[in-house]
């Protein structure tokens, strides 16, 4: 399962590192340690938390923007980095929800694409919005 350091979780949620630490300290967000002893948040836990936060009215500053991990130049300007929060798939088609800071992006795609990309709650993804289409990308560094 994917794990995120506090600074990465903060960028994905559009808040400060201190906010993530506070959420962990007060028990709103669960955290653990990686093999090196660094504090991390499980990707699926972070995705569930992001989804819960998105439905609340925000009291936090959400001005920080997550950097696009793909480092690929594209003509599409509407690119949103976020966490996969839900995948609903049948035999042929799938619906993928990605929480990008305060924005929820939903994409319909083939179930085959979901499998090939390894999309599941807690995974990092980049959504590319062009006209009425949403394209989901994942960084290839871990695969």
- Helix 17-25 and helix 6-13: axis angle, to 10°? 110
- Please tell me what DSSP assigns to residue 140: S
Q: Which fold has domain 78-129?
A: OB fold (Dihydrolipoamide Acetyltransferase, E2P) (2.40.50)
pTM of the model: 0.61
Kindly report, residue by residue over 38-51, the tens digit of the pLDDT.
Answer: 999 999 999 889 88
Summary mean pLDDT of the chain: 84
Residues of the chain with CATH 2.40.50.100: 78-129
From residue 74, how far is each of 37, 82, 129 by CA, in Å? 37, 18, 12
Kindly report, residue by residue over 101-140, the tens digit of the pLDDT.
Answer: 888 899 999 999 999 999 999 999 999 887 777 788 888 7
Q: What CATH number was assigned to the domain covering residues 3-62?
A: 1.10.1660.10
Q: Residue 116 belongs to what H/E stretch?
A: helix 111-117
Model confidence at 63: pLDDT above 50: no
């Amino acid at each position: 399962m994917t794990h995120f350091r506090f600074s990465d979780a903060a960028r994905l949620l559009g808040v400060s590192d201190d906010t993530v630490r506070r959420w962990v300290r007060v028990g709103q967000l669960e955290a653990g340690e990686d093999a090196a002893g660094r504090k991390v948040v499980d990707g699926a836990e972070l995705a569930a938390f992001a989804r819960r936060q998105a439905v609340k009215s925000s009291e936090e500053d959400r001005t920080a923007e997550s950097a696009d991990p793909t480092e690929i130049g594209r003509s599409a300007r509407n690119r949103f980095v976020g966490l996969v929060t839900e995948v609903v798939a049948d035999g042929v088609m799938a619906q993928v929800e990605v929480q990008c800071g305060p924005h929820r992006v939903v994409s319909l795609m083939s179930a085959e694409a979901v499998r090939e990309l390894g999309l599941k709650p807690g995974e990092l993804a980049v959504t590319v919005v062009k006209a009425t289409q949403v394209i989901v990308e994942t960084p290839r560094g871990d695969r």
